[in-house]
Every structure is written in C-alpha cells, then in structure tokens.
C-alpha cells in the first residue's frame, strides 16, 4: 500500500509516485529530524513535506509539483531512536551473527541528523531513549552472542576509520594515516593494517568507540576540518564457531556516517576548503555513480574503485551483504532543495538488488573453512614474491600497464604509485598488484567515460551555438535585403521628387513619408 488513511493532497498523477517498497534488498528509510531552534528563528515553522503514512510523504519537486515518495519506512520528527534501530538495524545484526555482512549508512546534508542517528547526543553519556544506532548494535550483538547456546566460541573485533580527502585514517591509532584497501578470497574487501581491538562486552566496545570519536576530534582540530567533511566508519567483525559442527562463521557490520552531502556552491567555500568540498562531493558522486551502474539493469562497469568509500562498500552494495540506508533530512522549507536531493538519492538506492549469502572465514589457525590455500602454498608464494627485488617488481607492473595504456599515462601512474607507496612496498603481493592495476585501469575507464561525456556536452553546445549563429545570419541577411529595398525606394522617391519638382515645382512631404514608411525610415 502506498497511501495511508489520511486525505491525499493534490497529487498530479500516478506517475508522480516514486519509490516502490518491493524492489530491492537495500532497506531505504527517510528520517526527518525536528526543526532546529535556528531554523525556527530564521525561517519560521514552515515544513517542506506532507506526512501521509509510515511509508510515504508528499514533497514538492523542482517544478513545484506534489510528488509522493515511498520508502521502506519514513521516520518523522516524533520518531524515537529505538524505532529507527528496530526497523533498520535489528535484521542486520541478526544476519551478522549468521555470517552475513551488514552495512548501515546515514546520508544527508550537514546538520540533517546523521551523527545523531548513529551515536545519539553522546556515545557514552546519554539516556536510554536517545541512545544511537551504534550503541544499540553493540548491545544486541553481545546479548545475542552471550545468550546463544549453539555458539561454542565467538570473537568480536572493532575498527574505526575515517576517510578524508581520499585517505583512510585509523581512528584507533592516529599514526596510521594512509591505510590501504585490499581484497582477499576469504575476507573480501578489507582495510589492511587497520587497528582491530578485541572486545568482550558492550562497555569495552563503548570505551573503544569513544576513544575513536575523541581521536576524530583531535585530528579535526589538527587539520582544521569539521566532521561534516569526512566519512566515519565503525567496523565490527564477528567470528563464531558452533557447537554442532566444526564450521566457523564470520560476519561484519559496517556503520557509515557519511560526510555532508550539500552542494559545493551552498557551502560558500573557497581555496583549500573548496578543494576539500569537491573531493567529498566526488566520493559521494562516485557513490551515486556506483548506485546508478548497479541499478542500470545491464552489465555496466561499476566504478567501485573510483573512491576509497565505494571500494570499502563494494561488498555491501554489490555482493555478500545486507545494506540499509537512512536518508536524513531537515524538515525546514528553507532546506527543501537539499532534502529533495537526499530523498532522490534514496529512491535510486532502492533500485539496487543484492543477494547475500553467509561467508566462511579463516580460523585462528589460519585454515580457511572453505576454498583455502594451504600454509605450504602461501609460503611458496611468499618465497617467490620475496625473490623479486623492488626494481623487478616495479618493472613488471609498469610493463604490464604499458600493454594497455599510453606511455604518458604509465608515467603518471608510476608517479601516483610512488606517492601511494604501492610500488616500493615489499608487502605487496601479486593479487595486490593486480588489484592496483585494476584500480588504475578502472580510473582510466572512468576518466575516458567522463571525457566522452564532456565531448558530448561540447558537441551539444557547439550545435546550439551553430543554430544561434545560423539564426543571426538569417536575420542579418533579411535586414540587409530590407535595407537594400529601402535604398532603392529612397532612390525612386528622390527621382520622383525631381520629376515632380520639374513638373509642379514642389512635392508634398506627406507623399514622400507614405512612400518611405513601409521600410521603417519614417515613424508611424
Ligand atoms: N532526531 C533528532 N532529534 C533531536 N535532535 C536531533 C535529531 N537529529 C538531529 N538532531 C540535532 O540536530 C543537530 C545536527 O545533527 P547532527 O550533528 O546529527 O547532523 P549531521 O547530519 O551529522 O551533521 P554533520 O554532517 O555536520 O556531521 C544536532 O544538534 C542534533 O542533536
């Protein structure tokens, strides 16, 4: 059902219903926070939406037409934190315990309520009612693990990272400020070298989280940045062995508090701040591109590798994961354009289809539950890799790139690799190198796609310009022809005057005026 019991406002046609509730397995919800004191003071109480029911609301689009938007759930100003948690997160925590990865993302403009939804007013000190998603996830996780009789062993680890200007910073160890993202058959996508703290209960977890949050604030002051400009990721890895069989299951829950999604122009930023805003906008627009590619319905190139954020979320959006998106919006009419853009992002995300399955993980002894490589094979691989010296490795990568790219592009990539420490990092394995090559090729494809788009736009602009010039030319030709006709008319009139003058000695002025008027030389 799209419509609730309330009277339906002026909605133009059924085509204005947006967002089916049955299409995807990404749960997408919208949350309107209460009006802030500042919004009330500067813009009054005017609200940008009309509530229909718990799944739909009416919002005016850019053409001022009423559109009904429908989502899995809409949380209005009076919604409790527990409502959001119960609907959005409970199924994801349950799945993580059964070995299915889960991701919860908050999206929206600065001040829309992303961090409030994630952390509440404070991660450590807030009353039960206001406790955010992160603490509730932690509580539920430990309650389920501790009460389960079928779990023989379990282990929960927590990492916290921040992505700022395309660098992944470890919030549990600030000295690690450029972590690399890697991929393995058993772990999927992971952040290599990120600090993982083993946590035994909720209070351990909250201590650790509050340390990460405090570190985030320290980094912000050092770098003079605001939290709204970085993405924050809370990552819980859960491994458990069952009493009934030998299997070890591993699930991961990633909670992502994204940077503010507002448009660059609205921030009024300049200089370095403008560059930052553009990079943040870029990673959010790559997220949009990934979602578009995933929902396009054909085997498109999905540009996961175009940003660190989408690379980390690759499994969540396209693979073995359940995902939930909370689109946070201001209810104020003054923020309607930004809220509309957030809502549209949510509608597009609803079209993604993913099919999760649980993932076996490596046990502590290093033996994977399935499809493992044996320690012997790993050791042979390591031996082979060690036998390459750095120059061999570098030449091998660059030669591989030269097969598919232009020399100048390879030079640029070499520079980039050196900057990122990829080529000279002896820990890099063959899959890492392949992955780095794929990153480079993917970037190249995106750049070319972008160049083609820009060329298309340029061709369209030139065609328009051509049309315009053609129109101007026609007008000029018409004016020239008119002027020529007028000149002829003047000459004829002058000749007539001379002839009449010869005959009658004068020509009436009115006669000359009426002769010239059609050509615009005499006012009406
Ligand atoms: N549902 C809510 N109920 C009450 N207050 C809220 C709610 N959501 C947000 N707020 C308040 O609104 C303000 C902005 O919220 P918040 O910091 O969560 O925004 P944000 O989207 O995380 O912004 P940024 O991108 O800048 O980090 C905060 O003071 C917060 O306490």
Dump pLDDT digits (tens) for 125-153.
878 899 999 999 999 999 988 887 666 68
Q: Which residue has the tokens 């660098």?
A: 167
Helix (H, G, I), strand (E, B) or coil at 417: helix
Would you state the pLDDT for residue 520?
59
Mutate which of 29, 31, 32, 33 for ligand 1? The one with the most ligand atoms within 8 Å of its CB, which is 33
Examine the pLDDT at 92 and tell me if it is beyond 60. yes
Across 351-361, average pLDDT = 55
Pairing of strands 49-51, 26-32: unpaired
How far apart, in whole angstroms, are the C-alpha atoms of residue 338 and residue 330? Answer: 8
Q: 128 alpha carbon to ligand 1 midpoint, in Å? A: 17
Question: What pLDDT is recorded for position 339?
Answer: 95
Q: Which atom of ligand 1 is nearest to the CA of 112?
A: 21
Tell me the mean pLDDT in the region 292-320: 78
Cα 165 to ligand 1 centre (Å): 23
Q: Are 79 and 116 in contact (CB under 8 A)?
A: no
**521: pLDDT confidence band, cut at 50, 70 and 90?**
low
Q: What is the pLDDT of residues 54-84, one digit of tens each?
A: 999 999 888 888 999 999 999 999 999 999 9
Between 146 and 187, the higher pLDDT residue: 146
Highest mean pLDDT among 144-158, 235-249, 356-370, 466-480: 466-480
Label the pairing between strands 26-32 and 73-75.
parallel
User: What residue owns the CA closest to ligand 1's atom 1?
Assistant: 33
Interatomic CA distance for residues 351 and 340, integer angstroms: 17
Is the pLDDT assigned to residue 421 strictly greater than 60?
no
Judged against a pLDDT cut of 70, whether residue 443 lies above it is answered with no
Q: Which residues contact 101 (CB under 8 A, 6 or more apart)?
A: 95, 188, 251, 252, 253, 254, 315, 316, 320, 321, 322, 356, 359
Looking at residue 418, its pLDDT comes to 62
- Residue 68 has, within 13 A of its CA and on its CB side, a CA count of 24
Pocket of ligand 1 contains residue 133 by CB under 6 Å: no
Q: For position 276, what pLDDT does the model report?
A: 66
Neighbours of 53 (CB within 10 A): 14
pLDDT band at 241 (very low <50, low <70, confident <90, very high): confident
What is the pLDDT of the chain when averaged over all its residues? 77
In the predicted structure, residue 227 carries a pLDDT above the cut 80: no
111 is in an annotated binding site: yes
What is the spatial distance between Cα 461 and Cα 463, in angstroms, rounded to a whole number? 5
Are the beta carbons of 294 and 302 closer than 8 angstroms?
A: yes
Ranges 39-48, 158-167, 424-433, 493-502: which has the least confidence: 424-433
Query: What is the spatial distance between Cα 121 and Cα 134, in angstroms, rounded to a whole number?
Result: 12
The pTM of the full predicted model, rounded to 2 decimals, is 0.67
Indicate if ligand 1 lies below 6 Å from the C-beta of 106: no
CB 247 within 8 A of CB 241: yes
What SS3 state is found at 409? helix
pLDDT > 90: percent of the chain: 35
**CB 346 less than 6 A from any atom of ligand 1:** no
DSSP helix, strand, coil percent of the chain (3-state; round to 5): 50, 20, 30
pLDDT of residue 354: 56
pLDDT above 50 for 108: yes
Q: Is the CB of 33 under 6 A from ligand 1?
A: yes
Per DSSP, the residues of 98-163 read TT-EEEEEEE-STTSSHHHHHH-S-SSS--GGG--HHHHHHHHHHHHHHH-SSEEEEEEEEEEEEE
In terms of average pLDDT, the best of 242-256, 262-276, 286-300, 464-478 is: 464-478
Mean pLDDT of 439-468: 77
112: annotated binding-site residue? yes
> Is 110 known as a binding-site position?
yes
> Where do the DSSP E strands lie in 243-299?
248-257
Q: What are phi and psi of 75, to 5 degrees?
A: -105, 120
Distance 202 CA to ligand 1 centre (A): 24
Alpha-carbon dihedral sign for residues 471, 473, 474, 478: positive
pLDDT of residue 309: 92
Residue 212 has pLDDT above 90, yes or no: yes
Query: Which position has the higher pLDDT, 209 or 3?
Result: 209
User: Ligand 1 within 6 A of 121 CB?
Assistant: yes
Is pLDDT above 80 for 244?
no
Q: Which of 38-52, 352-366, 368-382 has the lowest mean pLDDT?
A: 368-382
Most confident of 181-195, 252-266, 494-508: 181-195
Lowest mean pLDDT among 182-196, 203-217, 386-400: 386-400
At 17 the pLDDT is: 42
Largest CA distance in the chain: 128
Q: Is 339:113 a contact under the CB 8 Å cutoff?
A: no
C-beta neighbour count of 387 within 10 angstroms:
8
Nearest by Cα to 111 from 272, 261, 215: 261
Task: Give the lowest-confidence range in 121-135, 204-218, 336-350, 505-519.
Answer: 505-519
Q: What pLDDT score does 359 carry?
A: 47
- Give the pLDDT mean for 368-391: 43
Please report which confidence band the pLDDT of residue 375 belongs to, taking 50, 70 and 90 as the band edges. very low
Predicted pLDDT of residue 384: 41
**DSSP 3-state of 362:** strand
Q: What are phi and psi of 36, to 5 degrees?
A: -85, 165
What's residue 8's pLDDT?
33
Angle of CA points 427, 433, 434, to nearest 5°: 145
Q: Ligand 1 centre and the CA of 78: distance in Å?
A: 14
Q: Is 330 in the pocket of ligand 1 (CB under 6 A)?
A: no
Confidence band, pLDDT 50/70/90 cuts, at residue 320 = low
State both tokens at 359: 């993932």
pLDDT at residue 382 above 70?
no
Angle subtended by helix axes 202-223 and 133-147, to nearest 10: 150
Separation between Cα atoms, residue 429 and residue 425, nearest integer Å: 9
Q: What pLDDT is attached to residue 414? A: 72
CB distance 57 to 69 below 8 Å: yes
Which residue is closest in CA terms to ligand 1's atom 16? 113
Mutate to test the pocket of ligand 1, among 38, 113, 129 (most ligand atoms within 8 A of CB): 113
Tokens of 87: 């609907």
Residue 153 counted as an annotated binding residue: no
- Nearest residue to 284 via CA among 106, 120, 438: 106
Q: Where are the beta strands (DSSP E) in 243-310?
A: 248-257
Q: What is the dihedral of CA 275, 278, 284, 289, to 10 degrees?
A: -130
Query: 107's torsion region: left (phi>0), alpha (psi -120 to 50) or beta?
Result: beta
Strands of 245-335, DSSP E: 248-257, 321-329
Q: Identify the band that residue 14 occupies on the pLDDT scale cut at 50, 70 and 90.
A: very low
Cα of 454 from ligand 1 centre, angstroms: 38
Which residues, at least 6 apart from 506, have a Cβ–Cβ distance to it below 8 Å? 500
Structure confidence at residue 365 (pLDDT):
33
The two tokens of residue 425 are 């990092």
pLDDT value of residue 23: 35
Q: Round to whole Å and give the CA distance between 473 and 79.
A: 63
- For residue 62, report the distance from its CA to the centre of ligand 1, in Å: 26
The answer, yes or no, to whether any atom of ligand 1 lies below 6 A from the CB of 227, is yes
Q: What is the pLDDT of residues 259-305, one digit of tens each?
A: 888 765 555 556 666 666 666 667 788 888 888 777 766 556 788 88
Does residue 332 surpass a pLDDT of 70? yes
Count of other CB atoms within 10 angstroms of residue 469: 10
Q: For helices 336-349 and 271-295, what crossing angle results, to 10°?
A: 40
CA 388 vs CA 385, 402, 438: distances in Å: 6, 20, 21
pLDDT at residue number 44: 86
């Amino acid at each position: 059902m799209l419509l609730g019991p309330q009277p339906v406002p002026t909605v133009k046609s059924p085509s204005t219903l947006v967002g089916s509730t049955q299409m995807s397995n990404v749960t997408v919800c919208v949350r309107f926070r209460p009006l802030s004191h500042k919004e009330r003071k500067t813009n009054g109480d005017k609200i940008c939406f009309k509530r229909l029911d718990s799944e739909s609301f009416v919002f005016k689009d850019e053409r001022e037409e009423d559109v009904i938007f429908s989502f899995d759930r809409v949380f209005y100003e009076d919604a409790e934190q527990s409502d959001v948690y119960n609907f959005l997160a409970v199924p994801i925590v349950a799945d993580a315990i059964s070995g299915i990865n889960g991701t919860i993302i908050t999206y929206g403009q600065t001040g829309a309520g992303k961090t409030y939804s994630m952390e509440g007013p404070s991660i450590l000190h807030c009353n039960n009612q206001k406790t955010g998603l992160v603490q509730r996830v932690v509580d539920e996780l430990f309650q389920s693990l501790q009460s389960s009789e079928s779990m023989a062993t379990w282990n929960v680890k927590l990492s916290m990272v921040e992505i700022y200007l395309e660098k992944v910073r470890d919030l549990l160890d600030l000295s690690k400020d450029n972590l690399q993202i890697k991929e393995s058959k058993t772990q999927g996508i992971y952040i290599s070298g990120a600090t993982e703290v083993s946590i035994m209960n909720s209070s351990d977890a909250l201590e650790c989280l509050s340390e990460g949050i405090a570190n985030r604030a320290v980094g912000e002051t050092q770098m003079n940045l605001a939290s709204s400009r970085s993405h924050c990721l809370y990552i819980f890895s859960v491994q458990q062995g069952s009493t009934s069989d030998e299997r070890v299951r591993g699930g991961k829950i990633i909670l992502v508090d994204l940077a503010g999604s507002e448009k660059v122009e609205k921030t009024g930023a300049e200089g370095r701040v403008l560059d930052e805003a553009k990079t943040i906008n870029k990673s959010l627009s790559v997220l949009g591109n990934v979602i578009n590619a995933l929902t396009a319905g054909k085997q498109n190139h999905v540009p996961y590798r175009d940003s660190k954020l989408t690379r980390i979320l690759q499994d969540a959006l396209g693979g073995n994961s359940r995902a939930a998106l909370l689109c946070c919006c201001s209810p104020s009419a003054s923020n309607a354009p930004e809220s509309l853009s957030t809502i549209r992002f949510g509608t597009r995300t609803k079209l993604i289809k993913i099919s999760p399955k649980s993932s076996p993980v490596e046990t502590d002894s290093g033996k994977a539950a399935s499809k493992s490589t044996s320690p012997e094979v790993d050791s042979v691989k390591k031996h082979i890799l060690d036998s390459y010296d750095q120059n061999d490795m570098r030449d091998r990568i660059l030669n591989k790139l030269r097969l598919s790219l232009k020399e100048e592009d390879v030079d640029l990539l070499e520079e980039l690799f050196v900057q990122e420490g990829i080529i000279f990092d002896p820990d890099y394995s063959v899959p890492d190198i392949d992955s780095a090559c794929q990153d480079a090729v993917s970037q190249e494809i995106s750049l070319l796609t972008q160049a083609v788009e820009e060329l298309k736009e340029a061709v369209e602009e030139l065609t328009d310009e051509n049309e315009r010039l053609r129109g101007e030319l026609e007008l000029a030709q018409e004016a020239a022809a008119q002027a020529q006709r007028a000149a002829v008319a003047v000459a004829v009139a002058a000749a007539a005057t001379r002839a009449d003058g010869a005959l009658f000695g004068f020509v009436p002025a009115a006669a000359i005026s009426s002769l010239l008027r059609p050509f615009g030389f005499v006012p009406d």
